[in-house]
Structure 1
């Protein structure tokens, strides 16, 4: 007789939910990395433009050119502030996905443990049944020999 767990579909569902939560976390981490990369590029651009502004000021460039560089640096500053917010939001999303994954893993573990207990109980009852059958066979043999 083979063990069949009555709630196997639930165990499978919990496993699928955990896998889906892993994918969601992976996606959230990818988004965070993309936001951080974008922030790094903005910081690099701001530094480059600040250097160009400094060079233009040292070379006595026209005021309109210096003002143009200055306005672009200010624009980059605003973009950096917004990008910091985006990175923070992406980080919060990653933390939330981690919590969800942790919950799904715990849920799956509970159901796997219940299945393992049921299987152990089933195996124990099968061993008892086999032992009972062997005892009965031994009793019958003994009774046959005693006649």
Structure 2
């Protein structure tokens, strides 16, 4: 007799949900990394510009160019603030997706554990039935010898 798990369809459904949650999580990680990379680039650009401006100030710099740099740094600050929010939102989404993935993993593991226990019970029942059949065959052979 072949082992048939009674919750096989549910297990396959939960496994598919887990795989989908894994894909969504990986996408959220990618989005977080992209946003963090953009934020890093903006911060690096601002640092480089401030360094360049301080070097130029030592040698003298026209007021118009100072204003231009300050305006550009102000715009960079706005972009940095925006991307900090984007990174925070992406991190929160990523953490939420990670929690959902962990929950899906737990569900799948529960059903796999139940399947494993059911399979062990099935094997034990089969072994018991086989043992009883062997006992019966032995008894039949013994009875056949007694009759002769």
Fold conserved between structures, TM > 0.5: yes
- 8 Å CA contact 1:14–1:104 kept in 2: the answer is yes
2:83 match: 83
2:111 match: 111
2:44 match: 44
1:7-30 Cα offsets, whole Å, 9 max, x none, are 211111111211222222111111
2:141 match: 141
- Output the CA distance in 1 between the equivalents of 2:116 and 2:124: 12
- 8 Å CA contact 1:56–1:66 kept in 2: the answer is no
- Output the CA distance in 2 between the equivalents of 1:60 and 1:54: 10
- 1:35 alignment partner, SS class: helix
1:5 match: 5
**RMSD, aligned α-carbons:** 1.4
1:96 match: 96
Gaps of 5+ in 1: none
Gaps of 5+ in 2: none
CA apart distance, 1:143: 0.9
2:63 match: 63
- Output the CA distance in 2 between the equivalents of 1:114 and 1:52: 65
* Paired residues, number: 147
1:108-137 Cα offsets, whole Å, 9 max, x none, are 011011111111111111111111111111
1:21 match: 21
TM-score, length basis structure 2: 0.92
TM-score, length basis structure 1: 0.92
CA apart distance, 1:56: 4.2
